[in-house]
Amino acid sequence: MKYSEMSKEELLTLKAELDERYKDSKSKGLNLNMARGKPSATQLNVTMDMLDVINSTSDLKAEDGTDCRNYGVMDGIPEAKKLMADMMGTTPDHIIVYGNASLNIMYDQVSRAYTHGFLGNTPWCKLDKVKWLCPVPGYDRHFAITERFGIEMINIPMSVDGPDMDMIEELVSKDDSIKGIWCVPKYSNPQGFTYSDETVRRMASLKPAAKDFRIFWDNAYVIHHLYDDKQDEILDIISECEKAGNPDMVFEFASTSKVSFPGAGISAMAASKANLDDVKKQLTIQTIGHDKINQLRHVRYFKDINGLKEHMKKHAEFMRPKFEATLEVLDRELSGLEIGSWYAPRGGYFISFDAMEGCAKAIVAKCKEAGVVLTDAGATFPYKNDPKDSNIRIAPSFPTPEEMALAADVFVLCTKIVSIEKILESK
Amino acid sequence: MKYSEMSKEELLTLKAELDERYKDSKSKGLNLNMARGKPSATQLNVTMDMLDVINSTSDLKAEDGTDCRNYGVMDGIPEAKKLMADMMGTTPDHIIVYGNASLNIMYDQVSRAYTHGFLGNTPWCKLDKVKWLCPVPGYDRHFAITERFGIEMINIPMSVDGPDMDMIEELVSKDDSIKGIWCVPKYSNPQGFTYSDETVRRMASLKPAAKDFRIFWDNAYVIHHLYDDKQDEILDIISECEKAGNPDMVFEFASTSKVSFPGAGISAMAASKANLDDVKKQLTIQTIGHDKINQLRHVRYFKDINGLKEHMKKHAEFMRPKFEATLEVLDRELSGLEIGSWYAPRGGYFISFDAMEGCAKAIVAKCKEAGVVLTDAGATFPYKNDPKDSNIRIAPSFPTPEEMALAADVFVLCTKIVSIEKILESK
């Protein structure tokens, strides 16, 4: 029965019962963390063999003869370019392989636009105003980068097909101070939505007023499927932009942080030749190059895209039960109550929950009091400000399935109590 | 006999003979590169065992329990901080451990000053003019960073005791647009000079007009001795700045690029707590952290500062003969001719040669024609402009001692011919 259709008395009775259960929960002294998309020890264990493929007897020459132990090579060894290109669905000529963090590439790209401008355009530090489109809910670390550079962020609503393209087309065509958009196009953070073909094609065909408008296409979960049989597919943004006559409009990012080891993986950017040439002008001044031994380690371990896919099946085997345990509790406990909505993603790292308006902060706080830590409410919006105080991100990757079920129990309990309190306010 | 005291006829006779020898040299089809401070394969081979210390059976927990395979830790695992601090002669509380390239730290520090300013000071992009002091000859990649940001570079003459401190004190005290200075204080690039205690103390005691003036102290060769018995020492700039009441005035940099593997080493910055806190504000937005597995690999291989020192003795064993082979040829062939000067460094990666004014470019070109590649003349100066066209950097690290002797033979021959041509111009 919908909570909103229950009488005040019914709600109070129910609440008393739930409060009792909450008291029980608290007394258990739980200590569960569903806050960040952090791999579990089990996940890290399946990659340990990677640490054996390079040892003191290895030939550390890349396929083009480069001694990976020495200086040289700014854009990645050829076989690493190929591996990352295949993972991202593009070709090696579009790739620069970087160090251990794609976030660092994104930061540096924004910073470079700010200090030097893209392809000869005015550096953003010389402009009065720079704005950015932010599909919401989204990834807090994206928003932190644009906030750091004083860029004004504009919320764009998301649907299962991706961000609201009508709104985006309208905004970018009229306002040349809008310089970019953050996208997590596949298994989006946090909702797990994948942009439809139409969304990708419309994105690639944008006609921005700003010549230096860039799509920041963070393909973080491109091979992070939960199922063998149900997998989302996404069009290649690089070639779609080429076809639409906008080859320079996109930067695509990916890494193996959630494939091999977070912090010890490799990352890459894909872009047009003009953009890559522009980047390299900075790169040769900024660094002596990235870790080629680690590039070699990744290529020799995974071998090719099929190796990557097989490896990600191992991840899916223990990720899936965590997602399913969580969704089972949400479905069983909250279906039909109309106090929240959620989506069962086919991949990625998160489940996104939309509570009744004005309830997210209270739910997160109540969970915390009972020893269940969630991502801060609001974190999925620019300026940490969720205008509806509704979205909560659940990260099942770190705990065990059993812990996830326990945590989800607490979560639904808190959601029920806070929702009843909200409804009672207006009764 | 000094060339300048020889008669025109004597010089012409000598030149004819040298020209013949040069023709012989050219016919040998040499292909030798003394251009960059690149380690040799022999040097890289002595570190191969490092690739065995981390394998699939290793416990990858840092001493504080951090799982080095996962996300987390922005400033380095404790044992890596300790190792880098000991190497740099400071304490772990002054250290942030970074990724594979100290150059990248330096670039990012300049970029951060440009976009956000140091410790609340005005971002440099908002200033009309930013200037920088550059002891010359110096490191081309330093100058490339400041040039990239449009910073006006001012040459400061070097002596065996370090840069001209009178000039520096005078300039920084009067001009608040001077925001920094590049220093390679120990076994300087390219001269191999080490700043005297007085130089370090005067540097630490500067009273710059600009509150955000910073010494960029690139201690790249801090443990790169050529001899066991003759080693330069340098004062710790961090504590000297503290003593002088200028704790925030310095950033010190170092890496293991020329200790373990270039590109696959670890790097660090040392600075005051206020500066480190300021940096971390950016770092938490810029990256998910650096490669902790590689930090662990380095610590477990070198163990401590003594391990580092022992390792560098192995390097010295094959570096020393290259330097000595070069210096032997210079001493034997050029002493007393007064057509150039050089210095026998006790460490570092280079030998610096000062030819007669107006001769460096011609010597480098003539060497190249005979198959011996040197660093471009001028490269050791800002804007690649050596006002005297005199300085040439010789990098003995990559070739074998035999190749270095061969290359040095060509070098002295070219130096003699070009010098004679120069002298003849005024006869």
Q: Where are the beta strands (DSSP E) in A105-244?
A: 131-136, 152-159, 162-163, 178-183, 214-218
Residue-by-residue DSSP string for A278-294? HHHHHHHHH-S---HHH
Token readout for B11 is: 């010089």
Position A278 scores a pLDDT of 97
Position A1 scores a pLDDT of 83
What is the β-pairing status of strands B372-374 and B32-34?
A: parallel
CA distance B425 to chain A (A): 39
Residue-by-residue DSSP string for A157-168? EEETTEE-HHHH
CA distance A228 to chain B (A): 26
Cis peptide before A387 (omega within 30 of 0): no
Rounded distance between C-alpha atoms, residue A145 and residue B284, angstroms? 10
Position A36 scores a pLDDT of 86
Q: Report the half-sphere exposure of A239 (CA within 13 A, side-chain side).
A: 11
Position B273 scores a pLDDT of 98
Q: Residue A297's closest chain B neighbor by CA?
A: B51
Do the chains contact at A69 and B44, CB–CB below 8 Å? yes
Rounded distance between C-alpha atoms, residue A297 and residue A310, angstroms? 17
CA angle B220/B221/B227 to nearest 5° reads: 175
Token readout for B93 is: 């509380």
For residue A49, give the nearest of B48, B56, B287 by CB distance.
Answer: B56
For residue B115, give the nearest of A141, A149, A282 by CB distance.
Answer: A149
What is the β-pairing status of strands A250-255 and A267-270?
A: antiparallel
Rounded distance between C-alpha atoms, residue A216 and residue A132, angstroms? 10
Chain A partners within 8 Å of B44 (Cβ)? 67, 69-70
Do the chains contact at A263 and B115, CB–CB below 8 Å? no
Do the chains contact at B144 and A292, CB–CB below 8 Å? no
pTM over 0.95: yes
Torsion sign, CA atoms A323, A324, A326, A327: positive
* Terminal-to-terminal C-alpha distance of chain A: 17
Write out pLDDT tens, residues B87-134: 999 999 999 999 999 999 999 999 999 999 999 999 999 999 999 999
Mean pLDDT across the stretch B8-32?
Answer: 96
Position B427 scores a pLDDT of 83
Instruction: Give percent of chain B above pLDDT 90.
Output: 98
Q: Residue A50's closest chain B neighbor by CA?
A: B56
Q: Residue A290's closest chain B neighbor by CA?
A: B263
Chain B partners within 8 Å of A258 (Cβ)? none
| Contact assessment for residue A316 and residue A394, using Cβ atoms and an 8 Å cutoff | no
Of the candidates A40, A104, A15, A55, the residue with the CA atom closest to the CA atom of residue A321: A40
Token readout for A153 is: 């962020």
Q: In the sheet where B351-355 sits, what is the strand order? A: B340-342, B351-355, B391-394
Contacts of B9 (CB under 8 A, 6+ apart): none
Mean pLDDT across the stretch B169-190?
Answer: 98
Rounded distance between C-alpha atoms, residue A257 and residue A263, angstroms? 6
Position A427 scores a pLDDT of 83
Chain B partners within 8 Å of A67 (Cβ)? 41, 44
Position B297 scores a pLDDT of 98
Token readout for B286 is: 């810029």
CA distance B263 to chain A (A): 5
Q: Which residues of chain A have pLDDT under 50?
A: none
Rounded distance between C-alpha atoms, residue B187 and residue A107, angstroms? 35
